[in-house]
Amino acid sequence: PYEVLIVGGGPAGAAAAVYAARKGIRVGVAAERFGGQTNDTMAIENYISVLETDGPKFSAALEAQVRHYGVDIMNLQRADKLTPAGADGLVHIQMENGATLKAKTVILSTGARWRNVNVPGEAEYKNKGVAYCPHCDGPLFKGKRTAVIGGGNSGIEAAIDLAGIVEHVTVIEFAEQLKADAVLVNKLNSLPNVTVHTNAQTTEITGDGSKVNGIRYRDRATGTEHHVELAGVFVQIGLVPNTEFLKGTVELSKFGEIVVDAKGHTNLPGVFAAGDCTTVPYKQIVIAAGEGAKAALSAFDHLIRS
Ligand code: FAD
């Protein structure tokens, strides 16, 4: 069995692997896609000490560092069940391919995915004007016109954040009213360069073949179609943690996030979690990496005490 088995190979899993391996113990990482969300990132400009890199480069660097420490990397392997430690004291992770991996401690770092709006143009222009992370990609639209799809807290926070950087922000909300907290809505309404359309259904993200040039929405009250010219669209209709396979075993929040304490413990002994799949706020690479390191140190602490 592994002393530390990490499920998920994004920044959180990679940091956990490096920290655990440096303790001289047997470490494995099983990942559906090593590198995780960073593979889909165009430019990374906020990872401390790295002025600028791109997603594939960053992901390759994560993997090289993990390999350097002799960690067993099981890439393209999806976990689909966790069984808490029984009489043998080992946590069992059942893989989709039928294999079962056993470990004294497990770190869950399966990340999250942005919910898509699923309209024509979204997939085609992803990273070509369609973006999901205002902290990451907001500055790419400096001085340009953008839209935010989604009027919940994350959408309105994104709109306020973007309004300080871009020329103009159009907010498009499907429901009759913005769902964000009143304090955010008031702040939004005080900004001069924001237009809000409620009761509006996004029907298409338009482009010129190489990048986004606008958004089309239908006014749900009148049925009329409108087109707004702009350079970027931020989709903010929710982040979905990759934790479906843990339902019923590991405690999850109402949003499906793994509930962790300040040291990365879950409700199960020997099971830790880190990164975007957890209740830790602000889903960012530097945060996921820090949480992964923390979970590995907590797993090691658990090993030396049991
Ligand atoms: P992830 O990166 O999501 O990795 C999860 C890992 O778990 C992957 O290896 C995945 O394949 C694996 N996995 C999932 N389910 C299973 C399963 N059942 N079994 C096995 N493996 C599984 N953040 C920044 O700080 N700066 C940026 O510029 C930036 N830009 C972004 C741009 C885009 C387009 C996106 C989508 C995100 C961006 N982010 C950025 C956010 C950042 O990528 C995430 O916060 C970070 O990758 C989270 O790391 P993680 O390790 O928790 O999860």
Q: For residue range 275-302, list pLDDT tens digits in order.
A: 999 999 999 999 999 999 999 999 999 9
What is the per-residue pLDDT for 182? 97
Give pLDDT, residue 266.
98
Q: Compute φ and ψ for 104, nearest 5 degrees.
A: -70, -35
8 Å CB contact between 276 and 12: yes
Cα(110) to ligand 1 centroid in Å equals 8
In whole angstroms, give the CA distance from residue 278 to residue 243.
Answer: 9
Quick: pLDDT tens for 51-97: 999 999 999 999 999 999 999 999 999 999 999 999 999 999 999 99
pLDDT digits (tens, 9 = 90+) for 33-62: 999 999 988 789 999 999 999 999 999 999
pLDDT for 40 equals 83
Q: What is the pLDDT of residue 41?
A: 83
Q: Quick one: pLDDT at residue 42?
A: 76
Q: How far apart are CA 139 and CA 135, in angstroms?
A: 8
pLDDT digits (tens, 9 = 90+) for 172-231: 999 999 999 999 999 999 999 999 999 999 999 999 999 999 999 999 999 999 999 999
Instruction: State how far the Cα of 294 lies from the Cα of 190, in Å rounded to an integer.
Output: 40
Q: Which atom of ligand 1 is nearest to the CA of 292?
A: 51
Q: Is the CB of 36 under 6 A from ligand 1?
A: yes
Tokens of 146: 């953008």
- Residue pair 27/72 in contact by the 8 Å Cβ criterion: yes
Q: Is the CB of 46 under 6 A from ligand 1?
A: yes
Cβ of 243 less than 6 Å from ligand 1: no
pLDDT digits (tens, 9 = 90+) for 105-126: 999 999 999 999 999 999 999 9
Cβ of 109 less than 6 Å from ligand 1: yes
pTM of this structure: 0.90
pLDDT value at residue 53: 96
Say what the ipTM of the complex is: 0.99
Model confidence pLDDT, tens digit, residues 121-171: 999 999 999 999 998 899 999 999 999 999 999 999 999 999 999 999 999
Burial of 65 (0-12, 13-18, 19+ CB in 10 A): middle
Using the mean position of ligand 1's atoms as its centre, give its distance from the Cα of residue 230 in Å: 28
Given this model, what pLDDT does residue 135 score?
87
CA distance 120 to 206: 8
Give residue 136's pLDDT: 87
Cα 89 to ligand 1 centre (Å): 30
Length of the chain: 306
Q: What is the pLDDT of residue 159?
A: 97
C-alpha of residue 60 to centroid of ligand 1, in Å: 14
pLDDT of the residue at 43: 85
